[in-house]
Amino acid sequence: MLKYPMDKIKKIKQRFFTTRELRISILIIILLSFLSAVVFMYLIKIFGGTIKEHSILAFILVMVGYAAVVGFLTTIFAHRFIGPFERLRYELGIIISGDYQRRLNVRKRDDAYVKAFVEDVNKVIAMLQENDRCGTEAQMDIFSELSAIIGKMDDADPHRKELASLRDKISTRLR
């Protein structure tokens, strides 16, 4: 029997939850659109006596009403689900330029799927920030050790110029 670490199991459950939330959002849109079609059909049945001879007009009224409801629901869903991505792209561009202290933010009414995605991206940014910090510290340590070695070398040593050149390259990269 395979055994998985608890952190892996937690991540799998979380991923399923966010996928389920997205499915529920889409299901709600579909159900509301079908419900609106039923309501419009019922209204046509109620007023059928007055519009009976105008069945094409009744069909057009049902389709226009249905299209309006579906358009409204789709706009709300798109605003909650797709809307945040332009803002997130802008913030991510700032982070890519080197501001690793910044984190992505979501609005309260954004979709749960978007929120889970942003949480994961923020974890990646935190790891990137830590790696960048470690890399910078390592470069500074190498620079200071190299400077100490060069200081101990004789001026006549043939490797002194090579090491000084390497130190200068490291110095320009640290700026």
Domain ranges of the chain: 1-81, 110-175
| Residue 154: φ, ψ to 5° | -75, 155
Place 152 in a pLDDT band, splitting at 50, 70 and 90: confident
HEC per residue, 30-86: HHHHHHHHHHHHHHHHHCHHHHCCCHHHHHHHHHHHHHHHHHHHHHHHHHHHCCHHH
What percent of the chain has pLDDT above 90? 1
The pLDDT of residue 123 is: 92
Place 1 in a pLDDT band, splitting at 50, 70 and 90: very low
The pLDDT of residue 137 is: 84
Nearest CA to 32 among 72, 64, 63, 61? 72
What are the helix (H) ranges across 82-159? 84-96, 112-152
In angstroms, the CA 137 to CA 124 distance is: 20
